[in-house]
Copies of this chain bind each other. A is one copy, B any other.
Amino acid sequence: MNIYDVSERAGVSIATVSRVINGNSNVSEKTRNKVIDVMKEIGYTPNVFARGLGLNTMSTIGIMCTDSSDLYLANAVYYLERELRANGYDSILCCTGTKSETKKKYFELLMSKRVDAIILIGSKFLSTIAAENAYIIEAAKKLPIMLVNGYLEGDNIYSALCDDETAVFTATDALIKSGRKDIVYLYTSTSYSGMRKLEGYRKAHFLHNIPLNPERIHLCGKNIANSRDFLNELYDKGSRFDAIVTSDDTLAVGALKFAYDKGVSVPSELNIIGYNNSILSNCTAPELTSIDTKLESLCVTTINTLMGIFNGEDVPSKINISADIIKRNTTNF
């Protein structure tokens, strides 16, 4: 038995149940009594009390991501679990792959396991087709849905987002201001976050009156060989460029390999900027300048928001966090 069983049977929102549990005065006497009656009836003991009494309520948060072997997602899982544990919550994780039907099936699995909230990591978890996200909006009637760097409009859905557009804009703008003009953009996803990054690249060009060159904008798989091969081919076709901005460090590593392949000097002839400031950016020589997307902050914020919801507090449904550029040795601005 779970807070959403109480909410359903009492015919009130989860926030109202939370307010009653936490003794918040902003609930009518009648509603309070109804909620307490339902709690007694179904034998529900709220976690905050239960923990004080040393009872084992098995309160658990569900976490979902598409692929645990992705560095960004794996680190997000690590931070989320650390924060949940610090707040006395257990968590279970489902890795769903990218197919829509499998995501939905795993979502139902977590619901059936009686989790108290579901956290979805990455904007890739959401479909770009609105109808395919309907099950999430429906589920949010029963329990809070938390999105880490993803955005979906709906009641009881909460987002903590990195400002990816500004991050790529700032990086591209800095390159242009330092004299670079022919900037390749390599990206891996057309998700919400993927589109925001591309928009940042576009805006910086627009602002500086530099036309976009479609052959320099390339969507490719998230691995080293893909970006390396694409850049070698582009170069062999006679195209010349003086900077590469990427949506993931993996692609930036491939860009460095391309530079070795062709004897192009980094950073003097070619600037390279990675994304996510992962361990890969420390492994290369020269080390990669990369955009720190504040993943730890996003995860801490998500759990703080969730704890706020459980405590019946008013919490914002969307929080934006700014990225930073970590300057290492593949740029000279």
Contacts and interface: CB of A to CB of B under 8 A. Distances in A.
Contact of A109 (B75, B77, B90): B90
Interface in A51-90: 58, 60, 67-69, 71, 74-75, 77-78, 81-82, 85, 90
Q: How large is the interface on A (under 10, 10 to 19, 20 to 34, 35 or more residues)?
A: 35 or more
B224 A283 contact: yes
A102 B85 contact: yes
A26 interface: no
Contacts of A253: 282-283
Contacts of A279: 224, 250, 280
Contacts of A92: 92-94, 109-110, 113
A93 B113 contact: no
Contacts of A97: 81-82, 85
Interface centre among A68, A78, A81 (most CB of B within 10 A): A68
Interface string A90-116: 111111010000100110011011000
Nearest to A62: B92
A102 B77 CA distance: 17
How would you classify the secondary structure of chain A's contact residues: helix, strand, loop or mixed? helix
Interface string A21-60: 0000000000000000000000000000000000000101
Contacts of A109: 58, 60, 90, 92
A285 B102 CA distance: 39
B93 A95 contact: yes
A260 interface: yes
Interface in A277-291: 279-280, 282-285
A247 B58 CA distance: 37
A93 B81 CA distance: 11
A90 B106 contact: yes
B69 A95 contact: no
B85 A77 contact: no
Contact of A75 (B69, B110, B280, B283): B69
Interface of A: 58, 60, 67-69, 71, 74-75, 77-78, 81-82, 85, 90-95, 97, 102, 105-106, 109-110, 112-113, 224, 250, 253, 256, 260, 279-280, 282-285
19 contacts: A58-B112, A68-B74, A68-B93, A69-B75, A69-B77, A78-B95, A81-B95, A81-B97, A85-B97, A85-B102, A90-B106, A92-B94, A92-B110, A92-B113, A224-B279, A253-B282, A260-B285, A283-B284, A284-B285
